[in-house]
Structure 1
Amino acid sequence: MTVHDDLASVQRCLDDLTRSVGRLEKQLGSTSLDLRRVRTDADHLRESVALLRAAAAAGPTAARPELVTIPDTPYDGSLWTDSDDEGLGARDRHAP
């Protein structure tokens, strides 16, 4: 299956879920806190699938961030000459 087919399958399942929640609301009433949570969760799933569809339409390269290379060389020690050692106080001073 392709990504498009999988997303279409997920969308059909969400449509079924939405219809089932609607039937439950008719039977139990929409005032139930638990049922409102289920409705909200189903709506969030629908929004997430829409975002996935948009990302899939943009292609796999758009979703991958550019890698940043971090060098293995040590940092210049002069960057920290005015800082304190964390938890030990200032350099060249004794702890109480």
Structure 2
Amino acid sequence: MSIRDDIASVQHSLDDLNRSLGRLEHQLGNHGLEMRRVRLDADHLRESVALLRAAAAPEAPHQPDLVTISDTPYDISLWTDSDDEGVGAQNRHAP
């Protein structure tokens, strides 16, 4: 069985438990301490199974955002105020 199947089976069992508790409350009344404790325990189980389901859900693989780079040349005026990095200034010799 897969994890999803196991969690679905547990959820089905909790639904059965909830229905049975409803019938029991109808017969015994819901004002007793024992009945309230059992109902709270069942609610905690339901919340825990929901957390398990969320934790077991496979996360979608993160796709990096793609940036399209144009093939057209850049405007040469963007580079008029900069030196050629790493090769020194124009008309000068390296030491």
Query: TM-score per shorter chain, which class?
Result: 0.5 to 0.7
Corresponding position of 2:13: 13
2:36 counterpart residue number:
36
Residue 31 of structure 2 aligns to a residue whose secondary structure is coil
Q: Mark the runs of 5 or more structure 1 residues left unpaired by the alignment.
A: 60-96
> Secondary structure, in 3 states, of the residue corresponding to 2:52?
helix
How many Å apart are 1:20 and its aligned residue? 0.4
1:24 aligns with 2:46: no
**Unaligned 5+ residue runs, structure 2?**
60-95
SS in 1 for 2:30: coil
Which residues of 2 match residues 42-81 of structure 1 at below 5 A? 42-58=42-58
Deviations 1:19-71 (A, max 9, x none): 00010000000001001000000000000000000000145xxxxxxxxxxxx
Using the size of structure 1 for normalisation, the TM-score is 0.60
User: 1: distance between equivalents of 2:26 and 2:58?
Assistant: 39
- Runs of 4+ in structure 1 deviating by more than 4 angstroms, as ranges, are none
Point out the structure with max Rg over C-alpha.
Answer: 2
User: In the alignment, which residue of structure 2 is the partner of 1:75?
Assistant: none
Give the % identical residues: 71
Paired letter, 2:50: A
AA aligned opposite 2:34? D
